[in-house]
Amino acid sequence: MRRIDLVPALAALLITVAAGPLAAQGVVPKQKAAPAPKAVAAGAPPAAATTAAPAASGEAATADDKTKAIDGFRSAKFGSNEADVRAAIVKDFSAKPDAIRAQDNPSELTHSLLLSVPELLPNGGTAELSYVFGYKSKSLIQVGAVWSKGTDAAITPEKLFSNANILRAHFLSEGFKPDSIAVNMPVNGGIVMFRGSDAKDRSVILLLQGTFENKENNQRLLTPTSLLLFYVADAKSPDIFKLPPGQF
């Protein structure tokens, strides 16, 4: 089963996306059942693949009041201990305690709880959830979900693309900080379908991964192989093990 406690990779990804909008022209997810999103089709206007403009200063207070709060995933809240998260998983998914698997990351020195969930997204196939606990705090710092052949042998590139479109549309309606929102941003190995943060800089990242193929007119075709969704308490300074300065 694929490991999805990718805190350092998310930090790098968040910095890459925040550094500035990337042109998504010429990047098209390869699929059959659903049309490619206009924002990533060849010749699409740059505005379709950029970060949303900040609100005017006079609107800042009102915008902050309406900003989506990211405090975890369903009943599992950031800062919770393992016992509380286990109880939240049982409550949210009617999971049997022995269906929840534990996993340690030897390089980050974090601890995770894993659960396979059929139909986490309606008609979306089986996903694997990962609840990650910080190195020092031992509390919940990240929740991830992944859809791939590794989580569901019947999943297809078309299904992954459909799931990504459904989730992106949902998040775009949720009210994240306007200046934090990015959509359809090409990165190494895939496309950030959505990235958004709340007033406390807690983030949601939706990443469609796959293989690129170059076509005519400089068009790059993406065949999806996995869809990753992350809720992150602090992507810029994650609570993971790092060697103290000066030791080596």
pLDDT tens string 160-207: 999 999 999 999 999 999 999 999 999 999 999 999 999 999 999 999
SS3 for 147?
Answer: strand
80 neighbors 139 (Cβ within 8 angstroms): yes
Query: Quick count: other Cβ atoms within 10 Å of Cβ 141?
Result: 26
User: 46: which 2 tokens?
Assistant: 């740059």
For residue 228, the model assigns a pLDDT of 98
Segments in the chain below pLDDT 70: 1-66
Total-model pTM? 0.78
Query: Quick count: other Cβ atoms within 10 Å of Cβ 213?
Result: 12
146 neighbors 160 (Cβ within 8 angstroms): no
Report the candidate in 199, 198, 171 with the shortest Cα–Cα distance to residue 183. Answer: 171
For residue 68, the model assigns a pLDDT of 85
For residue 67, the model assigns a pLDDT of 72
Calculate ∠ Cα 229-235-237, nearest 5°. 160
Alpha-carbon distances, residue 227 vs 39, 61, 68, 77 (angstroms) = 18, 35, 22, 23
For residue 198, the model assigns a pLDDT of 95
For residue 214, the model assigns a pLDDT of 85
For residue 223, the model assigns a pLDDT of 94
